[in-house]
Amino acid sequence: MPHAEVQPAQRRRAKQLRKDMTGPEKRLWRELKAHRTGTHFRKQVPLGPYIADFACHSAKLIIEIDGDQHSVGRQQTSDARRDEWFAEQGYQTLRFSNWQVMNEFESVVLTIAAAAQGILESAEPCIPPSQPSPTRGEGSRALSGTEDSNGEGMP
C-alpha cells in the first residue's frame, strides 16, 4: 500500500521527535516495540499534516501521549481537530496523559492491546476466502459439461 508523500520539513520534524521522546513516550515505546500489544506500531509517524506519537497502520490506531498543556482550551480544540482528521482517514485515536503512562502503565497497555485487537477482529478480511480445489482432476470442463466419457474435452 503506497504511503502519502511526506514533505521534507515534516520528515525532519518527525525524525527530531523520535530522538527527543519524553519519558512517558519512551516507556510506552519499549512496550509497543516489543509487540506486547499483539500489533506493530511505529513511533512519531507523519500522517497528512500531523505527526502521530504512535501509529499501527494494520489496526488503523493512533496513540497520543499528552502532557499537561493538552488539558487547556486552545490545545483541546487543536487536539479535537487532529482527532477528527485522523478519524476521516479511518484511524481511531486513543489519548493518554503522561501521568497515566507513568502511574497506570499496565492499564494503558491493556487498553491499547484491547483496542488494537478489537479493531483487527472487526475488520473485513483483506484476502478473500479461497475456493475449494477440484477433486480428482475435475476442473472447469467438468463443471461446464463439455467432457466425454473418457474425461476428454469435446470440441
Quote the cell numbers at residue 87. Answer: 478519524
In this structure, the number of other CB atoms found within 10 A of the CB of residue 40 comes to 14
Which segments of the chain have a pLDDT < 50?
Answer: 1-2, 125-134, 138-148
All domains of the chain, ordered by start, with CATH? 8-121 (3.40.960.10)
Q: So what's the pLDDT on residue 73? A: 63
Q: So what's the pLDDT on residue 36? A: 82
The model carries a pTM of 0.71
Q: So what's the pLDDT on residue 58? A: 92
Strand extents, DSSP E, the chain: 42-47, 50-56, 61-66, 92-97
Q: Which amino acid is at 98?
A: N
